[in-house]
A and B are shown apart, each in its own frame.
Chain A
Amino acid sequence: MTSSVHRGEPGEEERPQPRAIVAGHGSFADGLVSAVQQISGCGDVFIALSNQGLAGQDIESRLRAASADSGARVFFTDLPAGSSTVAVRRIMRDDSGIVLITGANLATLLEFVFQPDGDLAQAARNAAEKGRSALAVHGGS
């Protein structure tokens, strides 16, 4: 586990500090983060946000607030055309240090969890490549 760790009061369990925000439609983010937790125990690396019922401006403001509050500079979203993606791209206009990965899947997030802190862009590229390579079709011939 290479993510940074939040150290609280003595006796308090160490919690990984969020390093990325997962955002998308419906329960996409909650579901993926829950799966990451089940597999790796590192679900706390991510903050999950849904765009459900929100106007574009509200999605953007919630994503901005989540990033500011947590310090997370990496965003994973579902669809390239999704409203969460559009909102993050608006944030990127003001902050060139933000990194966005669209089309995220479980393999993407799991790879990111185990990437070292530091070079966010490289971690994002590695995660995206892992997610891409996880897509496969079996059978049907």
Chain B
Amino acid sequence: MPVTLYRIDDRLIHGQVVVGWGQPLGIGLIVLVDDNVAASDWEQDLYRMGVPPEMELRFADVASAVRDHASYSADRRASIVVTGDIATMYRLVEGTGAINQVNVGGIHHRAGRAQKMRYLFLTPDEETQLRRLMSTGVKVSAQDVPAARPVPIEDVLGPAPAETTG
């Protein structure tokens, strides 16, 4: 079964992912793609602790996720692949060439970020990253929970700023 949801969420594994999406979609496999978490047993234990026994949680750095992506798609269970930032998802999209749709589920307030939606705050650089992600042909939408309406990210960002010419 193809991966059900590719999600960008800076909280990684939390209530919205495990319960909000996990239950209605019948998720049986979550793949957390993050270079730092993949290198830390402690971080992995932290996230594993909150996942119910009927869900398998795997950890991968980007290189491993690109390499193993076909096995995620071949899994018989419904699945979520989650990254904590746009850059990591972009590397995954570029590396696999097999991702058509990305959900932006939560990028929260931080210094330097401007609010775009209730759960979406972006720096100018992150806006550029999202536009670059869309330029690969991937459909990107913002949606925190299944009951919410997905909002095309181009509607959130508006038109791209005109390039200045010298």
* Given A86-B46, A89-B49, residue A79 in contact with residue B15 (CB < 8 A): yes
- Report if A55-B11 is in contact (Cβ < 8 Å); known contacts: A80-B49, A80-B50, A86-B47: yes
Is A39's CB within 8 Å of the partner chain B?
no
CA distance A60 to B18 in the complex (A): 20
CA distance A91 to B110 in the complex (A): 20
Of A54, A79, A82, A83, which one neighbours B109 at CB under 8 angstroms?
A54
Do A79 and B19 have beta carbons less than 8 Å apart?
A: yes
Q: Does A93 contact B (CB under 8 A)?
A: yes
Residues of chain A within 8 A (CB-CB) of B118 are 53
How many residues does chain A have at the interface if contact means C-beta atoms less than 8 Å apart?
Answer: 18
Write the chain A residue with the least CB distance to B22: A81
A85 and B50 form a contact (CB under 8 A): yes
> Which of the listed residues A82, A83, A89 has the most CB atoms from chain B within 10 Å of its own CB?
A83
Q: Across the interface, do A79 and B50 meet the contact criterion of CB distance under 8 Å?
A: yes
Q: Cβ of A81: which chain B residues have Cβ within 8 Å of it? A: 13-15, 17-19, 50-52
Q: Beyond A57-B110, A83-B14, list 7 extra A-B contacts (CB 8 Å).
A: A53-B118, A81-B19, A81-B51, A82-B15, A86-B11, A86-B50, A89-B49
B: residues with CB less than 8 A from A are 10-15, 17-19, 42, 46-47, 49-52, 107-110, 118-119
Task: List the 4 closest pairs (A to B, CB-CB), nearest first.
Answer: A81-B50, A55-B108, A83-B14, A81-B18
Query: Footprint of B on A, CB under 8 Å?
Result: 25, 53-58, 78-83, 85-86, 89-90, 93
